[in-house]
């Protein structure tokens, strides 16, 4: 067996959609469980902390980089098991997320079509329970297969054990970060089940009662394209913050000051408010720009950076936005983007 290629001082900017950040002390791509085992052995021998990298599409790397081993997940493969109208698909976590969505569209497998055109890998999807246009990936996940990077042992998590909630899962917790996701098993359906609940989708299909799976994908791609800056020119990680989930009491107070504030029901009697609306109508920050960092003019939740911007500029900009929201509403907003530093 060939030895695993471990690079030193690898620039991480090229591995993220933000295109920002310093070097990784060590960097390895793994495409099998055996290579993963070798990478883990190396990290233990060097006493190096490990960071698991997927598509780098939800990540802000510090300018000083990472003093450990970054393992890029390139485990591939798709295995399908049909059981009447249900279809179980076991997918290598290093596969492209949108490549997998397209595979499902081409085969008429329903369940994840509204999650079209999201950058990143299959393995990253359960970590932050990606969601868009009325669907969260948790509703299509059967189980998640992992390797514990402390021990090298395999462990499979059932859907319930993944602890999914809005943009959260067990894999984002301190304990959960020890598990390297190697495969995700999905449960999709051969029966059409269009989900047109989300406002933008509903409006798109006003004249169409039962759009096909291809039509839904096309609609999502079209709607999304207006909400993000051109990725070939700018660095971004999509929504920089979450839509804040608040208690009814906090919401009622907010509504007194801003009667038009929209809201959506969240689990446990809580309320989700669109932060884009707050940034736009309460803080007047839509399109706000300092130096090379801006909030996007069509969707202020999306922070983007021009070429040459640094992570510390993004940090300072984001912190100022967080302060402005706190001052106007009293709410502490939470980031969706993950940070990686030494
Ligand atoms: N709004 C404004 N001004 C604007 C834009 C939006 O006031 O300029 C208000 C409107 O009231 C609108 C609301 O904000 O109805 C929500 O905006 P939008 O529908 O564009 O989506 P979002 O809630 O901001 C979420 C996800 C996106 C996902 C979309 C579509 C989060 C943090 N973001 O955004 O996910 O694509 O819904 O379902 O939940 C991501 O995770 O990176 C991401 C982009």
- Which of 237, 274, 275, 302 for a ligand 1 pocket mutation test, highest count of atoms within 8 Å of Cβ? 274
- Which of 126, 131, 168, 271 for a ligand 1 pocket mutation test, highest count of atoms within 8 Å of Cβ? 131
pTM reported for the whole predicted model: 0.95
Closest Cα to atom 41 of ligand 1:
239
304-322 pLDDT, tens per residue? Answer: 999 999 999 999 999 999 9
Cβ neighbors of 200 (< 8 A, separation 6 or more) are 133, 223
Strands 338-340 and 302-305: unpaired
In this prediction, residue 209 carries a pLDDT of 74
Q: What integer is the mean pLDDT of 106-125?
A: 98
Report the separation in Å between the CA atom of 276 and the middle of ligand 1, taken as the mean of its atom positions: 6
Q: What integer is the mean pLDDT of 223-239?
A: 93
Tell me the CA distances in angstroms from 198 to 156, 205, 227, 264, 313, one per residue in order.
Answer: 32, 11, 15, 11, 34
Give 6-73's CATH code, choosing from 3.30.70.20, 3.30.365.10, 3.30.43.10, 3.30.420.40: 3.30.43.10
For the chain, where do the domains classified as CATH 3.30.43.10 start and end? 6-73
Q: Which two tokens stand for residue 112?
A: 């994840």
In this prediction, residue 207 carries a pLDDT of 79
For residue 154, name the pLDDT band (cuts at 50, 70, 90).
very high
In this prediction, residue 342 carries a pLDDT of 86
- Which of 165, 276, 298, 337 for a ligand 1 pocket mutation test, highest count of atoms within 8 Å of Cβ? 276
Q: Would the pLDDT of 1 be above 70?
A: no
The catalytically annotated residue of 167, 169, 185, 217 is 167
In this prediction, residue 231 carries a pLDDT of 85
59-90 pLDDT, tens per residue? Answer: 999 999 999 999 999 999 999 999 999 999 99
For residue 2, name the pLDDT band (cuts at 50, 70, 90).
low
Q: Would the pLDDT of 164 be above 70?
A: yes
Share above pLDDT 70 across residues of the chain, in percent, rounded to a whole number? 99
Closest Cα to atom 19 of ligand 1:
200
- Counting from 1 in the atom list of ligand 1, the atom nearest the Cα of 167 is 39
Measured between alpha carbons, how far is 57 from 16 in angstroms, rounded to an integer? 6
Report the separation in Å between the CA atom of 86 and the middle of ligand 1, taken as the mean of its atom positions: 31
- Counting from 1 in the atom list of ligand 1, the atom nearest the Cα of 128 is 41
Q: Which one, of 116, 102, 109, lies nearest residue 191 by Cα?
A: 109
For residue 150, name the pLDDT band (cuts at 50, 70, 90).
very high
Tell me whether residue 217 is one of the annotated catalytic residues.
no
For the chain, where do the domains classified as CATH 3.30.465.10 start and end? 78-225
Tell me whether residue 167 is one of the annotated catalytic residues.
yes
Q: What integer is the mean pLDDT of 180-207?
A: 94
Q: Would the pLDDT of 288 be above 70?
A: yes
251-271 pLDDT, tens per residue? Answer: 999 999 999 999 999 999 999
236-249 pLDDT, tens per residue? Answer: 999 999 999 999 99
Q: What integer is the mean pLDDT of 280-296?
A: 98
Give 235-340's CATH code, choosing from 3.40.50.920, 3.40.50.150, 3.30.460.10, 3.90.78.10: 3.90.78.10
Report the separation in Å between the CA atom of 260 and the middle of ligand 1, taken as the mean of its atom positions: 16
Tell me whether residue 142 is one of the annotated catalytic residues.
no
Across all residues in the chain, what is the average pLDDT? 96
In this prediction, residue 330 carries a pLDDT of 95
For residue 208, name the pLDDT band (cuts at 50, 70, 90).
confident
- Counting from 1 in the atom list of ligand 1, the atom nearest the Cα of 114 is 38
Share above pLDDT 90 across residues of the chain, in percent, rounded to a whole number? 96
Closest Cα to atom 38 of ligand 1:
132
Q: What integer is the mean pLDDT of 324-333?
A: 97
The catalytically annotated residue of 57, 143, 239, 294 is 239
The CATH architecture of the domain made up of 78-225 is 2-Layer Sandwich (3.30)
In this prediction, residue 3 carries a pLDDT of 85
């Amino acid at each position: 067996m060939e030895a695993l290629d471990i690079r030193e001082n690898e620039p991480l900017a090229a591995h993220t959609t933000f295109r920002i950040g310093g070097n990784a002390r060590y960097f390895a791509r793994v495409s099998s469980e055996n290579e993963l085992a070798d990478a883990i052995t190396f990290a233990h021998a060097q006493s190096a902390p490990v960071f698991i990298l997927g598509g780098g599409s939800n990540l802000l790397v510090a300018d000083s980089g990472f003093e450990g081993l970054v393992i890029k997940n390139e485990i591939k493969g798709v295995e399908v098991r049909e059981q009447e109208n249900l279809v179980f698909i076991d997918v290598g976590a290093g596969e492209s997320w949108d490549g997998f969505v397209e595979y499902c569209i081409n085969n008429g497998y329903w369940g994840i079509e509204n999650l079209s055109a999201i950058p990143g890998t299959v393995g990253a999807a359960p970590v932050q329970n990606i969601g868009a246009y009325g669907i969260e990936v948790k509703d299509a996940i059967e189980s998640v297969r992992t390797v514990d990077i402390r021990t090298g042992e395999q462990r499979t998590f059932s859907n319930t054990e993944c602890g999914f909630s809005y943009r959260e899962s067990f894999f984002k917790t301190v304990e959960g970060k020890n598990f390297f996701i190697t495969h995700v098993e999905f449960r999709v359906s051969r029966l059409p089940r269009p989900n047109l609940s989300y406002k933008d989708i509903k409006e798109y299909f006003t004249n169409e009662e039962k759009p096909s799976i291809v039509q839904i994908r096309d609609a999502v791609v079209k709607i999304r394209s207006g909400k993000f800056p051109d990725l070939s020119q700018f660095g971004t990680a999509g929504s920089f913050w979450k839509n804040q989930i608040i208690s009814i009491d906090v919401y009622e107070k907010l509504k007194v000051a801003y009667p038009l504030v929209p809201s959506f029901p969240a689990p446990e009697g809580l309320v989700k408010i669109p932060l884009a609306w707050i940034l736009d109508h309460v803080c007047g920050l839509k399109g706000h720009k300092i130096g090379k960092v801006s909030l996007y003019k069509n969707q202020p939740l999306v922070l983007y950076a021009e070429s040459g911007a640094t992570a510390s500029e993004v940090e300072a900009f984001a912190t100022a936005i967080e302060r402005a929201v706190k001052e106007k509403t009293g709410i502490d907003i939470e980031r969706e983007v993950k940070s990686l530093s030494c």
